[in-house]
Homo-oligomer: A and B are copies of this chain.
Amino acid sequence: MTVLQTRVDMSTALGAAPIPSPVLTASGCSAFGRELEPFVDLSAIGAVVTKSVQLRPRSGRPTPRMAETPSGMLNSIGLQGPGIDGLLADELPWLAERGARAFVSIAGTRVEDFAELAARLRGVPGVLGLEVNISCPNVESRGEVFACDPVAASDVIAAVRAAADAAHPVYAKLSPDVTDIVGVARAVTGAGADGLSMINTLLGLVIDPDTMRPVLGGVTGGLSGPAIRPVALRCVWQVHQALPEVPILGMGGIRTGLDALQFVLAGASAVSVGTAVFNDPSAVARVHAELAAALEQRGFASLREAVGYAHR
């Protein structure tokens, strides 16, 4: 990464964990970081947010798993991954060796799964903290997604906070597919979340005009990319407005430093770059550099000064 040397102090934090850059990868959009090595200095970015991991290895869903959409894409990967054992054995040591910070995304279908994952990650070298992907179906509630129910969402967060390493900030990752995102945000921070990751994908569907059936094996999928950026920004704005003390990791369609700046001004103290990495494998580093330059141009001495500035 060629970090443009600006005079802007770009350091920030996830909860109490300091990071040198506010720009991170997004869960599921940079795997476990390895493949970005040719394009990005992994130790210089804020953190590698790893693909959501569950207790057991998962094959993920059958293909097709994606459909391109106007300025975005739909995916239905089904959380393919090595499971927590594989993560601990292979991926986290690899990142730790390189001095990269891992912000580990965990997922499950039961409250206890999440808690067990958090416990397994206690004290693991290189782990900076946990992002809790609650956009998963809750097997105990007829498959309703945790993130769509403030009570279920807080149960998960409370359990994770209790089980997790005290030094690990716990971020709850919220879904935009709710009537009242502020209500969910309040519930999970009440339950102990140290911060909020916003937003996960929007539920979408594409039909193949040739087969005349849904493109994705899983019928619906998650919409991401610049198309959803205005929705993501609105969520960040609303939650920061209501809960100005709660740190936000903003994401959804960030492609440039000026996109990231919008999230910062709306209230995010750090951002994740997801789908844009598919377009530009060096996007995370580029966004950092562009954001630093944009802040400098606007006379900010530090990133922190700009957080939530649009509300003032």
Proximity string of chain A (64-82) to chain B, C-beta cutoff 8 Å, 1 when within and 0 when not: 0001011110100000000
Copies in the complex: 2
- The answer to whether B204 touches A310, judged by C-beta atoms less than 8 angstroms apart, is no
Q: Does A56 belong to the interface (CB within 8 Å)?
A: no
Most buried by B among A231, A258, A261: A231
- The answer to whether B227 touches A71, judged by C-beta atoms less than 8 angstroms apart, is yes
- The answer to whether B230 touches A204, judged by C-beta atoms less than 8 angstroms apart, is yes
- The answer to whether B203 touches A231, judged by C-beta atoms less than 8 angstroms apart, is yes
Question: Which residues of B have CB within 8 Å of A74?
Answer: 230
- The answer to whether B227 touches A72, judged by C-beta atoms less than 8 angstroms apart, is yes
- Using known A-B contacts A212-B309, A310-B213, determine if residue A206 contacts B179 with beta carbons closer than 8 Å: no
Taking the closest CB of chain B, its distance from the CB of A166, in whole angstroms, is 33
Taking the closest CB of chain B, its distance from the CB of A261, in whole angstroms, is 6
Q: Does A90 belong to the interface (CB within 8 Å)?
A: no
Q: Return the contact of A265 from the options B177, B202, B207 (Cβ within 8 A).
A: B207
Number of interface residues of A (CB under 8 A): 45
Question: Which residues of B have CB within 8 Å of A234?
Answer: 203-205, 220
Q: Return the contact of A148 from the options B179, B212, B229 (Cβ within 8 A).
A: B179
- The answer to whether B206 touches A262, judged by C-beta atoms less than 8 angstroms apart, is yes
Question: Which residues of B have CB within 8 Å of A177?
Answer: 179
Chain A contact residues: helix, strand, loop or mixed: mixed
Complex: A207 Cα to B312 Cα, angstroms: 13
Q: Return the contact of A205 from the options B212, B220, B237, B309 (Cβ within 8 A).
A: B237
CB closest residue in chain B, given A262: B207
Complex: A214 Cα to B261 Cα, angstroms: 12
Proximity string of chain A (215-226) to chain B, C-beta cutoff 8 Å, 1 when within and 0 when not: 000011101011
Most buried by B among A74, A225, A234, A294: A234
- Using known A-B contacts A178-B179, A214-B310, A253-B70, determine if residue A231 contacts B202 with beta carbons closer than 8 Å: yes
CB closest residue in chain B, given A148: B179
Proximity string of chain A (222-244) to chain B, C-beta cutoff 8 Å, 1 when within and 0 when not: 01011111110110010000000
- The answer to whether B207 touches A310, judged by C-beta atoms less than 8 angstroms apart, is yes
CB closest residue in chain B, given A175: B179
CB closest residue in chain B, given A234: B205
Interface residues of A in 282-308 (CB under 8 A from B): 294, 298
Proximity string of chain A (188-217) to chain B, C-beta cutoff 8 Å, 1 when within and 0 when not: 000000000000001111110100111000
Taking the closest CB of chain B, its distance from the CB of A267, in whole angstroms, is 10
Q: Identify 10 new A-B residue pairs, CB closer than 8 A, beyond the known A67-B230, A207-B265, A212-B265.
A: A69-B229, A70-B225, A71-B71, A178-B179, A179-B179, A202-B230, A203-B231, A207-B266, A207-B310, A212-B309
Residue ranges of A at the interface with B (Cβ–Cβ < 8 Å)? 67, 69-72, 74, 148, 177-180, 202-207, 209, 212-214, 219-221, 223, 225-231, 233-234, 237, 253, 258, 261-262, 265-266, 294, 298, 309-310
6 A-B pairs closest in CB distance = A204-B230, A70-B71, A70-B226, A227-B227, A71-B71, A205-B234
